[in-house]
Chains A and B, each alone.
Chain A
């Protein structure tokens, strides 16, 4: 900033200077581009047909390189002369941005609208696609998004509220999923309930019994992770949690006797309508409720199960924030030493944050297992942790609605980018749009981080107020340090 001011002071009388500087800067940008693009794009390996068979050869693409370097040069020049021009008076931004103001104005209406949309989504999708079966893809995407909304809300407790950077959240997702998969398919457990309550009892009720168990078990693992990392902060905490996620996955792969190893666990009992299976038979859901059988009933039911689970997560988080434990989480994020000076046992506060976050991850994992009917360690890689963390950061740490929107944008956006077939019209039939999915996605992420570095919702809602609830600006809210 300071150099910018100095430049404009010196360069203002002589306009030539500005143009010269801009040209020089653009030239160097072009040079860097040439260095980078030259080897990467300039050479292409091609198969040369020699008659006796093809050999690998090199083709040169100087024109493409020249075009790219030209784009960077001209683009940089235009930017230097317009937006980055030292003569340009910078607009000072003070107070809330336009987005914030829109957010504040629309705030009260957004939540009920989103909720109504989420509840009505299966019906909308069915109407729109002209039938339940045709709406399957949309519903699957909806379920995927809601799973990530729930995971985002769960991780939000650890990262957003307590300010503890957890890169191994997928571990709890895995613990939840494997808890259900192992319990539901376990011979002794099936036998025990079979002898006690009838043959079909366990198959019909396994999910509903295992759901709380999976949550509690994941919460327990959250505490187990919490203990060794209590003294760690920042990068060190992140690395250990990352390792924890990998350890769980590696144990799942290598403990073949117990977990089935890389092959995973298949034929996990499916979800039932509180004991009534979604089958075509007489005892099935459709027959009992006088409907025509459709496999889509189960999918729609699953949609509502994950919606309910996600809403429970949101409700619990909102309530916990207003309780002393939730305030202690946020206080821990703000200043750990001040917490201890007020008699708060920060060990317990950290453990409770880890355990609560992990518990919701466990619920989501249990749901994942029942939806897919199959679990394997492949589903619990670091990518998932990174994705959930990206959702939390993008949504705005600590914000419920921001995380929900971020999950919808990220997961929905990823799906939408699979369907970029219209690009084939522009670039020709050889163009494969799916390959550009990650590029577009990464670009979108970078732009959002440039424009909204504190996430979509950067303000913090106070948990209590005397006269009026004033949102706290993100600049004052700390991000935590481990």
Chain B
């Protein structure tokens, strides 16, 4: 297949994964939306999760970000460095939701409620149908994103209520951070407008800026390019590259726009009917006959034909290596 044993070590998602998804199952009654899915997200990589409609991509996202409790499986998120198998086994066995050491930490996302996934494990997300606080201004949206940090700084409102020092400087710092991100997404001059008044593309950018204001180490974007025109798509690519380069934030994104996926991602995971059908570099995935079959849609005879072909190829490559 795409990855031979020799090149495996060079892939970041195998050498230093930030998120390891293992045997993830999500069942809704009799429907198996995600079926034994395992993949890694490399630290500092831009990873794309693609697949036809209804493949279970958003379900995977909801499992990772704590909005769904997976039926089975382990989702290990590592801060600073990948955990050793021992550490992983320990935290799984003791039943805690996280193992926090001095130099590294590992969080088991399947054990955490949604607000802890974003607040403690530092996984931020955006939504397929944009979820901004439409009645609040652009700046307020970014201030809400810094809630946990500001809550501590305001002494759980007591310091802030009486205007004690410490709170004011924290509030100023938060505004500065918001301004920084507004500048990055080119919305600084609209800071005082209600978020609901922004055009669609700007709302998408604002949602990314808001997620970034919560200082994530992993940013999950659910179809960030949906509804954007080609120029806006290009700007999005630049923005995502900037986020990765300047902030070291790893990015996991669901996307249908192949120009975005192929352009910026380092690693592509392809889902179909809740199962992984391909996993590798964009080039490898693009040429994978199973992906082509899933995307273009072929009738059943053709699928069998393709599968037979794949088996043949695999048998050959197995024989040669």
Contact = CB atoms under 8 A, between A and B. Distances in A.
A465 B175 CA distance: 9
B65 A341 contact: yes
B196 A476 contact: yes
Interface in B126-178: 127, 131-137, 139-140, 143-148, 150-151, 154, 156-157, 160-161, 175
Contacts of B201: none
Contact of B151 (A325, A335, A467, A470): A325
B210 to A, nearest CB: 7
Chain B: interface residue count, which band? 35 or more
Given A340-B114, A466-B191, A327 B140 contact: yes
Nearest to B134: A476
A327 B143 contact: yes
A324 B150 contact: yes
Given A331-B147, A337-B67, A337-B131, 20 more contacts: A323-B150, A323-B157, A324-B160, A327-B136, A327-B140, A328-B144, A330-B135, A334-B133, A338-B131, A338-B133, A340-B114, A342-B144, A343-B148, A346-B115, A463-B140, A465-B137, A465-B192, A466-B188, A466-B191, A476-B194
B205 interface: no
A334 B161 contact: no
Interface stretch (B35-43, B117-125, B265-273, B313-321): B117-125
Count chain A CB atoms within 10 A of each CB in B127, B147, B154, B160 and give the residue with the most. Answer: B147
B275 interface: no
5 contacts: A324-B150, A325-B154, A340-B118, A344-B147, A466-B191
Interface in A407-432: none
B147 A478 contact: no
A478 B65 CA distance: 25
A319 B144 contact: no
B139 A342 contact: no
A278 to B, nearest CB: 32
Contact of A327 (B67, B147, B188, B214): B147
By Cβ-Cβ distance, the 3 closest A-B pairs, closest first, are A343-B119, A477-B135, A334-B133
Given A344-B147, A476-B196, A323 B140 contact: no
A324 to B, nearest CB: 4
B196 to A, nearest CB: 4
Interface of B: 65, 67, 114-116, 118-120, 124-125, 127, 131-137, 139-140, 143-148, 150-151, 154, 156-157, 160-161, 175, 179, 188, 191-194, 196-197, 210-211, 214
A465 B147 contact: no
A324 B139 contact: no
Contacts of A476: 134-135, 194, 196-197
B154 A341 contact: no
B127 A338 contact: yes
Given A320-B157, A343-B118, A465 B131 contact: no
A298 interface: no
Contact of A324 (B154, B192, B194): B154
B215 to A, nearest CB: 10
Contacts of B137: 462, 464-465, 470, 472
Contacts of A325: 151, 154, 156-157
A253 B51 CA distance: 64
Given A324-B151, A328-B147, A337-B131, A465 B139 contact: yes
Nearest to B118: A343
A339 interface: yes
Contacts of A472: 135-137, 194
A466 B192 contact: yes
A316 interface: yes
A324 B136 contact: no
A79 to B, nearest CB: 35
Contacts of B175: 464, 466
A462 B133 CA distance: 12
A464 B139 contact: yes
B161 A320 contact: yes
Contact of B115 (A343, A464, A466, A468): A343
Contacts of B196: 476
B140 A324 contact: no
Contacts of A345: 115, 119
Contacts of A469: 192
A162 B271 CA distance: 39
B131 A342 contact: no
Nearest to B148: A343
A342 B147 contact: yes
Contacts of A316: 161
A462 B136 contact: yes
A466 B139 contact: yes
A354 to B, nearest CB: 15
Contacts of B120: 343
Given A327-B140, A472-B136, A477-B135, A341 B192 contact: no
A67 to B, nearest CB: 48
B213 to A, nearest CB: 8
A460 interface: yes
Given A320-B161, A341-B65, A468 B192 contact: yes
A473 interface: yes
Contacts of A324: 143-144, 146-147, 150-151, 154, 157, 160
Contact of A467 (B134, B192, B210): B192
